[in-house]
Amino acid sequence: MKRVFAIFKALIVSSIRSPSVIFWNIFFPVILLLILASIFSNIGKEVSFRVNLVDESTTFKNTNMDFASYISEAFKEMSTGKNAVITLESSTTQNFLNESLEKLKSGKIDAVIVIPPLFNTQIYAAVVQQKGGFNLFSKPKIEVYTLENSQTSDLAFTIISSVLESFNLKILQNSGTLSDFVSPKTEYVSKNGQNFSYIDFIVPGILVMAVMTVSIFGITDDLLVQREKKVLRKLFVAPLNKGEYFWAMILSNLAIEIVQIIILLILGLYLGAHFGLGILAILYILFAIVTTLPIGFFIASFSKTSDAGNALANIFNFLFMFLGGLFFPITGVPLAVQIVAYIIPTTYLANGLRSAMGVMSSPTPMYLNILVPLIWAIVMVIYSAKVFKWEV
Amino acid sequence: MRESILEVENLKKYYSDIKAVDGISFKVLKGEVFALLGPNGAGKTTTLEILEGLKDYDGGKIKLFGEEVRGKVPRHLRERIGVVLQENNFIDHLTTVEILKMFRSLYSNGIDVREVLKEISLEDKANAKVEKLSGGQRQRLAIGTALVGNPELIFMDEPTTGLDPQARRNVWEMIEKLREKGKTVFLTTHYMEEAEYLADYIYVMDHGKIIAKGSAEELISSFGGEKIIEIDLDSKNLDLSFLSEFQKTKIEDSKIIIVTSSLPTDMKKALDLFEERSIKVNDIIVRQPNLEDVFLNLTGRKLRD
């Protein structure tokens, strides 16, 4: 035990003082989490657009032909309650239009809707015209001002279009005629079905990635670099046994992983991620560590040199990182990629951890989230134990 | 009679096409510095690696501290041994004192790290990272890692290869001190002067076999009263076949070595032969034979060939 601790301490101190170990194992996952969180922070978040509505209509006011007020009501409805999609300000003054356009230009709001003065008359005329089959009056237009090159403005426009479309349908139902005021759009912006955001999704993914990186690079380094430098040989002619080195190596990597996990969880919380950290989550994190450590051992077992090992480690790490659904759901990717994804263990580890942390229900059954990584680990351990050479 | 702490009997290690170690036997006595001397490829390192438990062997018997050992050396025996490998690297980013402490923790009866630091004269480098040490300092640290466990027997594989003369001197002094403390040192070397300077007992090894043994004096006196004539010529690539008139000669570039038991006769003969062929002689030295000549005499080759 004293010997295991001595080697453990030496390996840990060496790692802490190694700039590359600290960068790849602590800074890299932190930076990646920050980058992904900032790029995709809007995905799945409850979106809200700021829309100003200017109702300039003057005709048929306070009658049942005040179509403009129906439209205002529809938007008002969308701005209230739990599922509000827009925040709405509306007014009827000309002054308000100018104010709104200024606000739009400075990016304070996302869209301005203007109902023209003769809107109600025009609708009435259009309905009559449609029924009579003649074509004298121009169709009524609702002006929608959006900001050029603004994604949120475009999305706001889409929402507005869909409201107007449903308004078209309503007229159709009421008058038995078809009329279009704005061309109907088929896009709908709807709230994400599942109650989690991208940051919730990404935190467990980053955890699996971080743990796997340490497991792969930490173990291959401890085995291959030290073997190549004859450090292992030097230790084994001293009264140290291979098993003792092995456990010291496992423990030192485990220690780094625990520190890394704590840092990432704190950062995740800071970025607003929601997750549970019950006994199940902690056990599953340990399970992820235990089942990824053999990957490093496996790579080391068929690498003759540390350079070869490093290249292989990079390949495995890359493959398991990007095809394992750690950062994005794998449902949208090509079939070939999906097949690979359903073979490699990280897909299951990410699903399992998301489920264990209460972020989302796992797309794969939980028994597979245990079984697949476990089988990988067992096969790798058996293979490595047979093939790995402690001395060269 | 001192007890022997290492006995090797008819040790053999064969690779498919080479007999790396071909039936060697020796005994190392407690408290002596024992040198295995031979050129590169003689089988010295293979022998040492077998003794350290790093390699298995194909025949023979090894008794370490009276216990028969084969393959991996059991821990309780490794506790009594210190090893300095040919190539000594350490875990990166650690300091000298951290490395020594780590190694001390591997032994049950280690000695004070400060004491070791003093012995290897690295007190001023105690907190220096290992990667910042010079070649000589690294070698001293390697010896320190072997000493920190307070071993009875220390194996050293070519402890001064690649070191500059000053660093080599330092290592020699450390080995001297170990002898004074009653430690047993088993070293391999291809430096004749190292074996001559340090070793109480020398085994000369070549092509996997022991070809001579004894103290440096004994080995040299095996020449009897023979002396060495070293003749330096001005030019190389001459036809020197006439030198076959002498019994033992060796030609190396422009240098000719003649082993002689009747100095005046052979000296005159040599000079006459050169004069007859009008070959210009640059320098002539007559000296006592050394271990290099012993090896030359035994194998017809120089140690560092």
> What CATH number corresponds to the domain at position B40?
3.40.50.300
Number of structural domains (chain B) is: 2
Identity of residue B240: L
pLDDT for position B224 = 66
What is the least distance, in Å, from the CA of B122 to any CA of chain A? 20
Any domain includes A312: yes
Any domain includes B283: yes
| Identity of the residue in A6, A230, A237 whose CB atom sits nearest the CB atom of B89 | A230
pLDDT for position B257 = 83
Give chain A's mean pLDDT. Answer: 84
User: Is the ipTM here above 0.95?
Assistant: no
Asked if A13 lies within 8 A of B94 by C-beta distance, the reply is yes
Asked if B106 lies within 8 A of A226 by C-beta distance, the reply is no
Asked if B91 lies within 8 A of A240 by C-beta distance, the reply is no
The better pLDDT of the pair B83, A85 is held by B83
What is the least distance, in Å, from the CA of A205 to any CA of chain B? 32
pLDDT for position B76 = 93
Closest CA to B129 of B156, B167, B94: B94
Chain A positions in Cβ-Cβ contact with residue B105 (cut-off 8 Å): 2-3, 5-6
Instruction: Tell whether B232 and B210 lie within a shared domain.
Output: no
Residue A1 has pLDDT above 90, yes or no: no
Instruction: Tell whether A163 and A75 lie within a shared domain.
Output: yes
Residue A184 has pLDDT above 50, yes or no: no
Best probe of the A interface among B79, B106, B116, B153, by most A CBs < 10 A, is: B106
Any domain includes A14: yes
Split at pLDDT 50, 70, 90, the class of A191 is very low
**Which chain B residue shows the shortest CA-CA distance from A244?**
B106
* Cα distances (Å, whole numbers) of residue A390 to A133, A302, A312, A316, B207: 92, 12, 19, 22, 28
**Domain hosting residue A69, numbered range:** 49-175
Closest CA to B137 of B106, B104, B99: B99
Site of tokens 């100003």: A52
pLDDT digits (tens, 9 = 90+) for B196-247: 899 999 999 988 999 888 888 888 887 667 788 888 887 777 777 777 777 7
Cα angle at A372 between A369 and A374, to 5 degrees? 100
What is the least distance, in Å, from the CA of A382 to any CA of chain B? 23
pLDDT for position A158 = 78
Any domain includes A84: yes
Instruction: Tell whether A242 and A360 lie within a shared domain.
Output: yes
Instruction: Tell whether A201 and A145 lie within a shared domain.
Output: no
Q: Which range among A48-57, A189-198, B187-196, B233-242 has the greatest average pLDDT?
A: B187-196
pLDDT digits (tens, 9 = 90+) for B236-280: 777 777 777 777 777 777 788 888 878 888 888 888 888 888 888
List Cβ neighbours of A250 (8 Å cut-off, separation of 6 or more): A293
Instruction: Tell whether B273 and B250 lie within a shared domain.
Output: yes
Q: Which of A1-5, A284-288, B56-60, B287-291 has the lowest mean pLDDT?
A: B287-291
pLDDT for position A196 = 61
pLDDT, mean of residues A125-131: 75
How many cross-chain Cβ pairs, A to B, lie less than 8 Å apart? Answer: 71
pLDDT, mean of residues A296-313: 92
Instruction: Tell whether A57 and A85 lie within a shared domain.
Output: yes
HSE, CB side, 13 Å, CA atoms: give it for residue A35: 8
What is the least distance, in Å, from the CA of B78 to any CA of chain A? 5
Best probe of the B interface among A5, A229, A237, by most B CBs < 10 A, is: A237
Three-class SS state of A131:
helix
Q: What is the CATH number of the domain that holds B241?
A: 3.30.70
pLDDT, mean of residues A208-226: 93
Chain A positions in Cβ-Cβ contact with residue B97 (cut-off 8 Å): none
The better pLDDT of the pair A13, A167 is held by A13
Number of structural domains (chain A) is: 2
The better pLDDT of the pair B140, A169 is held by B140
pLDDT for position B173 = 92
**Domain hosting residue B284, numbered range:** 224-288
Residue A266 has pLDDT above 70, yes or no: yes
Residues of chain B with pLDDT below 50 are: 305
Instruction: Tell whether A165 and A287 lie within a shared domain.
Output: no
Split at pLDDT 50, 70, 90, the class of A194 is very low
B101 and chain A in contact, CB less than 8 A = yes
Chain A positions in Cβ-Cβ contact with residue B93 (cut-off 8 Å): 13-14, 17-18
